[in-house]
């Protein structure tokens, strides 16, 4: 078995890639390899054409049912108005879908754009600049600060080289690189210190590496492969609509067949007339506006969420958030600020909070700012290593004027940092002609060279007790996931002839310790608590070290502090089979040192348990898991274009608390969709019952135009308005619905049935009253009035019932009659559109209705209002029984 490149010696790698370190490949050999293996570029998945995307919108089962209904209505029964409106609704819904999903294939394009345009390589013994796409395995590449690594490299030379790999590993601090051979064949990406990875950024130093992988074979290429091959998951909303469509279709076909069969058996009408009746019943039963109404409610939800910094890229993601049970969150930049910050300082033998400052006269502040290569730009921004910029930023907060201090004590010499001795020293000329030596670095290395300890403005000999106290403090800070640096100094009379570690880094005075961390966002702890209260489990998935991840998770409340059993590393995860991990997945809330394939595996394990998983992330390494999750949430500020392209939603403020806000909005959207469905289906059930019983009883039957107009004016506007109902109290105290829930859960299903039967029963009751106590004498007029009153009642009763479904269980007077202005205007507009067909001359003949007397209007309005009274009584009884 071939060893991985990081486990090979430099010579083994050169031999395996058939190249020479000093001369590189020949031009002829490079050309041959390029032709054989292809360019150093990422392959994109084959994109769907716009026509294909549009056609895909018609694969939904309910859409197919609507298309069949439209064809039958037009071609068989010649009700072209019915057919036209149904087709218009279906096409509008398809256009919405194409518009939203046209942005969903940007991930690989963004990866390709990240590629560096040029690379410096040794070819034929000379250093030449070539397009990075022409790199091949075996090329010797020269890199330095400011470059982007053009391919995966095994480093063969390193001079203070640091590479920032947060987009790939999730770790915010640049990695110190070396050329040492690593042991083992399962070393995580973040620990491969002798490797450079394509599309990562060099922040410090320089190096030389041999190309060991290009294009899709690189680490970032493997991520691109996972993105291309990731299986698209269906959302709970899509699953529910699909199931609803099948259920309704079966019901419709059964009822229509019964009506048709009974009508023919009883010889109630001719075959064409009974077929027309069956079609009318199908039109009444199918909520043809439902797909469009759901789309509009989701679109309105996206607008509200956008105002709260959650930008939705795919409409169903709005509702999916509401059913989320797991939030798997990246640490860096999501839970934390992605900015190193000084948190603790140790001096004069005491540990202090950074906010308390440093006592005057103590040189700890001077050393941390002087032994520092941070460059302050004219606009105030800082360039340099995040650890060093954190020290300078802390000095600014403490009113340390670095420019003024350096003007008085300029740097005249230095000993640069290197990874072996883990120290950095600068020498500054003092006003009195002597020199200040400022040294910072690893505390254990610094203590080997320090024999005095600073107290205020003087120094004492360091005792063994002092040394042990410093080591104990260092360990304490490290267990809190702080990155600890030591500071020391001394004053010398002259600069040595040779400035190096041996000549200046000895006999130092220990000034103190500085503890830094990428701190958690201040609002995240409360957001985590709110998520838990809502039954949502937050988890941390990071490329950072285990101790750091565990400490941050404990501080945020994701786990109990010190709960080691809830933490697992990527290496430990590799030791478990899929079945073992599936059995154990509920134990873990923190994943440290993970690779991209681990993240996808974690998401898949939870999904296999039926959980709805949201994944947040900002790096390239997050993209596959973002795409695999039920809802991928990218970061708008710190996120790469790759992660945004793979996401369903992007946080404009990178604020974890915004996710919890979005979950609340998602729950509200689902509740409002439920209200719309309850309203639509109970209304349609009322229509079906009315037509069914009219047929069975041999009464005159409402015409298709009646049903179509009622559906158009009383269904659409109120159903959409119900979609913007305010959030009901306590919605974030409820447990998540999960994947197994549906639109009929929470009492909606029974409510649809009994309320639909009530609507139909009241309508039939009005028809019976009209023919039993007629206003006119002739038989034709009596039946015309009865049919008109039934038509008016069926329309008005739905408008009255819309008030009932503002809440499934709460009283109308509790949720408020007039809180939703859009709803009130929708009811008024629907009422006027219904009334105009009866009250305005000229419309009577078009709609086959008559003008009603005042007493007849009284019966119609009384029946409509009666549904509010009855539903309020039933809700009251249900609440009492529930208690």
Rounded Cα gap, residues 822 and 826, in angstroms: 6
CA geometry: angle 582, 585, 591, nearest 5 deg: 130
Rounded Cα gap, residues 820 and 767, in angstroms: 33
Query: What secondary structure, in 3-state letters, does 657-678 show?
Result: HHHHHHHHHHHHHHHHHHHHHH
Shortest CA distance to 391 belongs to which of 273, 577, 516? Answer: 516
Residue partners of 682: CB distance under 8 A and separation at least 6: 751, 752, 753, 755, 756, 759, 801, 805
Whether 384 contacts 377, CB under 8 Å: no
Please list the helix, strand and coil fractions of the chain in percent, rounded to the nearest 5, in that order.
55, 15, 30
Rounded Cα gap, residues 524 and 658, in angstroms: 9
Shortest CA distance to 140 belongs to which of 131, 148, 151? Answer: 151
Residue 517 pairs with which residues in a beta bridge?
341
Q: How far is CA 246 from the centre of its chain?
A: 30
* Backbone φ, ψ for residue 417 (5° rounding): -70, 145
Rounded Cα gap, residues 206 and 158, in angstroms: 6
Determine the length of the chain.
883
Neighbours of 186 (CB within 10 A): 10
The phi-psi region of residue 610 (left if phi > 0; otherwise alpha if psi is between -120 and 50; otherwise beta) is left
CA count, 13 A, side-chain hemisphere, 170: 31
Residue with token string 């709805």: 612
Rounded Cα gap, residues 153 and 212, in angstroms: 6
Residue with token string 């409510």: 751
Catalytic residue positions, numbered: 330
Residue partners of 472: CB distance under 8 A and separation at least 6: none
Structure tokens at 669: 């959207």
> How many angstroms separate the Cα of 772 from the Cα of each of 275, 530, 852?
29, 60, 16
* Secondary element (H or E) of residue 300: helix 290-307
Q: How far is CA 862 from the centre of its chain?
A: 50
Backbone CA torsion sign across 792, 793, 795, 799? positive
Structure tokens at 478: 């490290």
Neighbours of 528 (CB within 10 A): 24
Structure tokens at 569: 């590393």
Task: Please list the alpha-helical segments (H only) found in 42-165.
Answer: 50-56, 61-71, 80-101, 107-114
Whether 555 contacts 523, CB under 8 Å: no
CA count, 13 A, side-chain hemisphere, 623: 32
CA geometry: angle 140, 143, 144, nearest 5 deg: 160
Decide: helix, strand or coil at residue 343.
Answer: strand
Shortest CA distance to 718 belongs to which of 621, 616, 831? Answer: 831
Structure tokens at 392: 């300078």
User: What letter would DSSP give residue 547?
Assistant: H
Write 77-80 long-range contacts (CB < 8 A, 24+).
77/275, 77/276, 77/279, 77/704, 79/279, 79/704, 79/705, 79/708
> How many angstroms separate the Cα of 315 from the Cα of each of 76, 238, 301, 622, 666?
36, 11, 9, 21, 11
């Amino acid at each position: 078995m071939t060893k991985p490149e990081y486990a090979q010696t430099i010579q083994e790698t050169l031999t395996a890639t058939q190249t020479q370190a000093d001369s590189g490949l020949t031009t002829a050999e490079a050309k041959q390899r390029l032709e054989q293996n292809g360019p150093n570029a990422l392959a994109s998945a084959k994109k769907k054409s716009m026509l294909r995307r549009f056609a895909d919108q018609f694969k939904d089962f309910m859409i197919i049912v609507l298309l069949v209904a439209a064809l039958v209505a037009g071609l068989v029964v010649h009700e072209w108005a019915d057919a036209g409106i149904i087709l218009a609704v279906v096409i509008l819904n398809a256009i919405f879908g194409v518009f939203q999903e046209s942005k969903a294939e940007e991930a690989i394009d963004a990866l390709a754009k990240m590629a560096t345009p040029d690379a410096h390589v040794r070819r034929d013994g000379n250093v030449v600049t070539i397009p990075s796409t022409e790199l091949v395995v075996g090329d010797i590449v020269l890199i330095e600060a400011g470059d982007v690594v053009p391919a995966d490299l095994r480093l063969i030379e390193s001079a203070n080289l640091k590479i920032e790999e947060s987009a790939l590993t999730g770790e915010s601090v640049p990695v110190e690189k070396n050329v040492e051979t690593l042991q083992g064949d399962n070393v995580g990406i973040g620990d491969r210190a002798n490797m450079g990875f394509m599309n990562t950024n060099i922040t410090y130093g320089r190096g030389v590496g041999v190309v060991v992988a290009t294009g899709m074979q690189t680490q970032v290429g493997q991520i691109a492969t996972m993105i291309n091959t990731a299986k698209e998951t269906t959302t709970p909303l899509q699953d529910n609509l699909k199931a609803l469509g099948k259920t309704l279709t079966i019901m419709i076909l059964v009822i229509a067949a019964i009506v048709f069969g009974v009508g023919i058996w009883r010889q109630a009408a001719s075959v064409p007339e009974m077929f027309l009746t069956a079609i009318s019943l199908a039109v009444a039963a199918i909520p043809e506006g439902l797909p469009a109404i759901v789309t509009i409610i989701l679109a309105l939800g996206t607008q509200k969420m956008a105002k709260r910094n959650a930008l939705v890229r795919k409409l169903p993601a709005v509702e999916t958030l509401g059913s989320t049970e797991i939030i798997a969150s990246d640490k860096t930049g999501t839970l934390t600020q992605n900015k190193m910050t000084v948190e603790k300082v140790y001096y004069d033998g005491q540990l202090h909070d950074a906010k308390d400052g440093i006592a005057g006269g103590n040189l700890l502040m001077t050393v941390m700012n002087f032994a520092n290569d941070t460059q302050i730009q004219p606009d105030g921004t800082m360039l340099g290593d995040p650890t060093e910029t954190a020290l300078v930023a802390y000095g600014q907060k403490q009113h340390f004027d670095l420019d003024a201090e350096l003007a008085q004590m300029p740097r005249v010499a230095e000993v640069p940092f290197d990874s072996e001795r883990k120290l950095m020293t600068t020498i500054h000329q003092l006003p009195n002609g002597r020199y200040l030596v400022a040294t910072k670095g690893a505390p254990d290395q610094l203590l080997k060279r320090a024999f005095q300890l600073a107290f205020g403005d003087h120094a004492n000999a360091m005792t063994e007790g002092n040394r042990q106290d410093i080591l104990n403090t260092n360990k304490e800070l490290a267990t809190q996931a702080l990155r600890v640096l030591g500071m020391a100094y001394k004053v010398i009379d002259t600069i040595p002839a040779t400035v190096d570690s041996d000549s200046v880094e000895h006999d130092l005075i220990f000034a103190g310790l500085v503890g830094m961390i990428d701190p958690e966002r201040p609002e995240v702890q409360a957001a985590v608590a709110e998520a838990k209260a809502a039954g949502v489990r937050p988890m941390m998935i990071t490329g950072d070290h285990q101790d750091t991840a565990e400490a941050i998770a404990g501080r945020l409340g994701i786990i109990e502090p010190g709960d080691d059993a809830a933490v697992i590393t990527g290496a430990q995860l590799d030791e478990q089979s899929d079945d073992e991990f599936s059995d154990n997945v509920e134990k873990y809330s923190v994943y440290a040192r993970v690779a991209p394939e681990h993240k996808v595996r974690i998401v898949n394990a939870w999904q296999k348990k039926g959980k709805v998983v949201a994944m947040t992330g900002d790096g390239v390494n997050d993209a596959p898991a973002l795409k695999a999750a039920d809802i991928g949430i990218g970061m708008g500020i710190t996120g790469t274009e790759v992660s945004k392209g793979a996401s369903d939603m992007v946080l404009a403020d990178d604020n974890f608390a915004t996710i919890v806000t979005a979950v609340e909005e998602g729950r509200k959207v689902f509740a409002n969709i439920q209200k719309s469905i309850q309203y639509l289906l109970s209304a349609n059930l009322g229509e079906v019952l009315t037509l069914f019983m009219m047929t069975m009883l041999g009464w005159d039957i409402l015409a298709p135009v009646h049903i179509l107009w009622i559906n158009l004016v009383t269904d659409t506007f109120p159903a959409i308005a119900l979609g913007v109902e305010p959030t009901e109290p306590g919605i974030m105290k409820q447990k998540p619905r999960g994947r197994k829930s549906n639109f009929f859960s929470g009492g909606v299903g029974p409510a649809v049935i009994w309320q639909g039967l009530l609507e139909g029963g009241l309508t039939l009751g009005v028809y019976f009253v009209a023919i039993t106590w007629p206003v006119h004498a002739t038989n034709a007029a009596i039946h015309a009035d009865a049919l008109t009153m039934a038509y008016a009642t069926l329309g008005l009763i739905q408008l009255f019932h819309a008030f009932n479904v503002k809440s499934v269980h709460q009283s109308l007077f509790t949720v408020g009659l007039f809180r939703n202005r859009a709803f009130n205007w929708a009811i008024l507009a629907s009422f006027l559109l219904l009334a105009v067909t009866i009250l305005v001359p000229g419309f009577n003949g078009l709609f086959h209705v008559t003008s009603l007397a005042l007493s007849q209007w009284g019966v119609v309005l009384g029946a409509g209002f009666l549904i509010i009274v009855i539903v309020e009584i039933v809700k009251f009884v249900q609440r009492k029984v529930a208690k």
